[in-house]
Amino acid sequence: MTGVTSILPTDRISDAIEWRVEPGLTPYPHALAVMEARAAAIREETAGELAWMVEHPPLYTAGTSAGEGELLAPGRFPVFETGRGGRYTYHGPGQRTGYLMIDLAARGRDVRRYVHALEDWLIATLGDFGIAARSVPDRVGIWVDRPGGEAKIGAIGVRVKRWVTLHGFALNVSPELAHFGGIVPCGLPDFAVTSLADCGVDASMADVDAALQQRFSVLIEGLGPVAASG
């Protein structure tokens, strides 16, 4: 893979997490293959953890709980079955999708805590842009208040395989919001979808990436200390 890469030290320098920003639009099947290969290598202790930031061409993904009637426009964009939790989501240009391959075996083996740490990380990042975001019990994702009511600005969908995480989050920076109309986003028909741009924030993807990286410690600290090896 090509991309902009840096190493983020966490609790110990030996536990550094690679941060990679992929240029251009990444085909979804390629992203799945990369995640699976990296997760297997982490489990075999032949590679380190990875936070991988990508953008996709327009597409829909179906999580393990996706309902048959929630795909409203079957021929609009390619549809991919995926092993992550959740329902239908949209990915496309202007949306930062973050794929995280984190070793939960070394970080407490607590999936619920991991999801909450993901939420806290995105909320802290959005706060840097003046957006008051929050999580909502029993409604996974990141939410903000808009003139018409609550709207979703970020989606979370994770999979854990042999205690290594796959998939992650999708944060709407400046996507074409009309593209969400081909699905019932996350199975929630009564709520709108929004973005930083829709909230009046003029931020580039590079701006958002910088804030995500700056706030990455919120995620790591939320998982607790790395377990001692040996």
Task: Find the catalytic residue in 186, 218, 219, 223.
Answer: 186
How many CB atoms within 10 Å of residue 146? 16
Contacts of 134 (CB under 8 A, 6+ apart): 123, 142, 143, 144
According to DSSP, residue 217 is labeled H
- 144 pairs with which residues across the strands? 151
How many CA atoms does the CB half-sphere of 150 hold within 13 Å?
14
Strands 134-136 and 192-193: unpaired
Q: In a 10 Å sphere around its CB, with 0-12 CB exposed, 13-18 middle and 19+ buried, how is residue 202 labelled? A: exposed
CB 79 within 8 A of CB 73: no
Structure tokens, 217: 């410690």
199 is catalytic: no
Point out the residues that are catalytic. Answer: 186
